[in-house]
Every structure is written in C-alpha cells, then in structure tokens.
Amino acid sequence: ADKVVVGLITKTEVNPFFVKMKEGAQKAAKKNGATLMTGAGKFDGDNATQVTAIENMISGGAKAILITPSDTKAIVPAVKKARSAGVLVIALDTPTEPQDATDALFATDNFKAGVLIGEYAKAAMAGKPAKIATLDLAPGITVGQLRHDGFLKGYGIKEGDSQIVCSQDTRGDQAKGQTAMENCLQKAPDVNLVYTINEPAAAGAYQALKGAGKEKGVLIVSVDGGCVGVKNVKAGHLAATSQQYPLKMAAMGVEAGVEYAKTGKKASGYTDTGVTLITDKPMSGVESKDTKFGTENCWGK
C-alpha cells in the first residue's frame, strides 16, 4: 500500500521548540510507516509561507496536516480549503481563531503555564516589593497573550499594575530578548523580577543582566522547559520554567493523521499535552519538579 502522507507546518525552523516538534513528527512518521512533508514560516508571524505550505501539501496528497499557526486568523481560509479537500487539519501548540477552524488541537494550556510561574514568582518574592519587567512575544499572538495573562493571574496582579515597570516585545528571540532587557534596565534599573515568554528570550535577558552586573539580584521565570532551558535553571540563571512537551504533541498528531488515513476516524476537540513547573528551589504551595525530572523529560521525549 502507498505510504500515508502527513504534513507538518511550524512557525519557524530555528526556534528549538519547533526543531523538537519536527524531530518528534519524523520519529512518529517512521514508526507508523508514514511519509512526512514539512514546511515552516521564515519568521514567527509569517502567514504567507504557511499558506503556500498548506497548498503544496494538499497537492502532494497529504491526508493530514499538523500546523502551529503563525497568524491564527489569517490562516483560516487555507485551513478550510484543506478540510474541504478531505484533509484532517490539527493545530499543534497554538489554536486558530476560531479554535474550531481545525478538526482538533493538541497543545499546552499556555494560560496555566503562565499561572504556574506567576504563583512561583509571587512565593519566591516572599512579600518583597516587586519591580517587574515582562518580556513578551508580539502583539496579537495568542500564545504570548495567554502566558502573559496567566503570569499576572498567578502573581495576583492586573494589567497596568504599578509593579510592572517595563514591558517589551521579543518575538521569543534571544538577541531581541537581550535588547529588550537592556532597554528595561535603562528605564528601570531596579528591576528584580523578569517574566519571559520563552527560554531564548530568558537567555537574552540573563546576558543583559550579567552585562550590567545585576544577574544575582533578579529572579527570571520562563516557559518551555527545553533541554537548554533546564540547564539554565540548574545553573541558577533561571529560577523556574513551565515545561511543555512538543515531541508529544507532534507524535500524537502524526498518529491521529495515520489513524484518519486508515480508518476515517477524525481526532476532534482539545487535548491538553501537559505542563510541569521545573525548579531546584521549590516554594511551598506551588507544585513543582526538580531539574533532574526536567532533564529527563525536556521537550517531552
């Protein structure tokens, strides 16, 4: 029989999260005897390349397409086109708007990921007055908004609270994260708590703080729980991170695609692929695992 063709489209090819997602999909495709087609945006937010990838995959005979949508609204017409051509479309990591534009969603609860590091930061600050910098993703990107809002909720503050002394966008990029932190330090040299959208942004923030000789007195929290990020927690550069599992998302997606091709059974609804707080300095009342667990499970192998 012909091999089942499954497509995977990620936001970029460089973010380690998506590199791992692709690895997970390749492994699952091999295990299930499927052929994997891949595509990716040139940068986070590149909708045009993702649309082209969907069209190529439809004409390439893909029975299922897994996508992490860059522009959650603009991608919808292309998704509809794929579905009306009989292709199963599953969103990974990021829901489309509306969420039911795809058949199913396999993702981290990004709001919960934010809540966990917010609760942790609140406990770790132990009543000290906070001067918070938020290093965010970019305007209008759902994942970033959910993590940011979750962090505020976990910390127990609202948007616009006077404890937030600086907010900058980083697009989840290390170099931009460093620049953003440098800008924040100029604006508010006494920052003592930094929320970061992901670990590349956190690594950039740490470099900026180190460059200013301030890395010791600042608590950095983040989201990803990637292998490098967990190392940074172990080294004390990051206080805590919310670990998510892209390898698992991708593997589940490929399996669902193969099952649809073979049986016609469609995956549907939302599947939460889990999130775990990783830290070596646990706080009472906040559930967490240590970096040993984090290393064993980084990216969700």
210-252 pLDDT, tens per residue?
999 999 999 999 999 999 999 999 999 999 999 999 999 999 9
Q: How many domains does the chain have?
A: 2
| 136/19 Cα distance (integer angstroms) | 21
Shared domain for 281 and 180, answered yes or no, is yes
Cβ atoms within 10 Å, residue 259: 17
**Helix/strand/coil for 136:** strand
Range with the lowest mean pLDDT among 50-54, 138-142, 261-265? Answer: 138-142
**pLDDT > 90 in the chain, percent:** 95
Cβ atoms within 10 Å, residue 271: 17
Contact 137, 168 (CB under 8 A): no
295 located within any domain:
yes
Q: What's the CATH number where 62 sits?
A: 3.40.50.2300
Q: What is the pLDDT of residues 97-125, one digit of tens each?
A: 999 999 999 999 999 999 999 999 999 99
Tokens 């697009």 belong to residue: 171
| 163/160 Cα distance (integer angstroms) | 8
Res 85: pLDDT: 98
Residues spanned by the domain of 20? 4-108+245-267
272 located within any domain:
no
Contact 6, 29 (CB under 8 A): yes
* Structure-block tokens of residue 161: 């609270």
Q: Mean of the pLDDT values across residues 187-199?
A: 98
Shared domain for 235 and 252, answered yes or no, is no
Residue 65 DSSP code: E
Res 2: pLDDT: 80
Shared domain for 136 and 235, answered yes or no, is yes
Residue 160 DSSP code: T
Cβ atoms within 10 Å, residue 42: 14
Shared domain for 27 and 40, answered yes or no, is yes
**Closest residue by Cα to residue 42 from 1, 82, 86, 9:** 9
Shared domain for 239 and 249, answered yes or no, is no
The dihedrals phi and psi of 194, each to the nearest 5 degrees, come to -125, 120
**Closest residue by Cα to residue 43 from 13, 76, 78:** 13
115 located within any domain:
yes
Q: What is the Cα 6 distance to its own chain's centre?
A: 22
Q: What is the pLDDT of residues 149-186, one digit of tens each?
A: 999 999 999 999 999 999 999 999 999 999 999 999 99
Shared domain for 136 and 201, answered yes or no, is yes
Q: Bridge partners of 163?
A: none
In Å, what is the CA distance from 68 to each residue of 22, 87, 175, 226? 11, 16, 23, 18
Shared domain for 78 and 173, answered yes or no, is no
Res 285: pLDDT: 96
Shared domain for 120 and 215, answered yes or no, is yes
Q: 184 Cβ partners below 8 Å, 6+ apart?
A: 133, 135, 165, 166, 168, 191, 194
Tokens 């600050």 belong to residue: 125
